[in-house]
Amino acid sequence: MKATVSRLQANWVYGGALAGLGLLVLTPLLTVAWPLGERLVWLVLPVYMLHQLEEHDGDRFRHFVNATIGGGREALSVRDVFVINVFGVWGVMVVTLWLMRDLASGWGLIGIYLVLVNAVLHLVQALVMRRANPGLWTALVLFLPLGCWGLAELAPSATLSVHAVSLAAVVALHGAIVVNVRRRLAHV
């Protein structure tokens, strides 16, 4: 069982990319009656899965972070990357879709802010480091247009508190990753 979990943690991105393609193909069937803003939120999950392939194929992102931020030390483990992406992205998107469909469409902003914040972080890191980073191109080509369009569609109908909570949740998620990296580096 331990070997199976290790393989799953090491290879999650490939199943995710295939699932993302499947979800994209099913999108017209599953979301046909949804308002445009909600369909855009739905697309966050499969688009994110494709972004994750660019970012994590060959363990690229973890190696990048460990080399640049960790200075060769393990700032992110294979398990960390798995938990962040499967629970922190896929899980968050599942909860977001339930909230959006059961409570109010404005809760879809969690997914929209998830792609927008991620895209901005990729861009800022590339500008500061003056080099590309794993995931930069799909963040710019897919996340920015999808996020801006989704924001334009959902923002008018969402309350200020929904905006604030949605953005705060996404910032807290990214903050938790930073705290985890700092904690790991302090103990390495």
| Average predicted confidence (pLDDT) for the chain | 97
Q: Per the structure block, which two tokens stand in for 23?
A: 């979800």
- With cut-offs at 50, 70 and 90, classify the pLDDT of residue 64: very high
Work out whether the CA dihedral 32, 22, 97, 177 comes out positive or negative: negative
If one counts the domains in the chain, the total is: 1
Task: Please write the tens of the pLDDT for every residue from 104-119.
Answer: 999 999 999 999 999 9
Predicted confidence at residue 181, as pLDDT, reads: 93
Q: What is the mean pLDDT of residues 34-56?
A: 98
- With cut-offs at 50, 70 and 90, classify the pLDDT of residue 188: confident
Query: Which bin fits 57, alpha (ψ -120 to 50), beta or left (φ > 0)?
Result: beta
Q: What is the DSSP string of 94-113?
A: HHHHHHHHHT-GGGGHHHHH
- With cut-offs at 50, 70 and 90, classify the pLDDT of residue 120: very high
CA of residue 81 relative to chain centroid, distance: 12
Residue 45 lies in domain: 2-186
Predicted confidence at residue 30, as pLDDT, reads: 97
User: Does residue 64 contact residue 134 with C-beta atoms inside 8 Å?
Assistant: yes
Task: Please write the tens of the pLDDT for every residue from 73-105.
Answer: 999 999 999 999 999 999 999 999 999 999 999
Q: What are phi and psi of 78, to 5 degrees?
A: -60, -40
Predicted confidence at residue 187, as pLDDT, reads: 86
pLDDT tops 90 at residue 59: yes
pLDDT tops 90 at residue 51: yes
Cα(93)–Cα(47) distance, rounded to whole angstroms? 12
Q: pTM value? A: 0.95
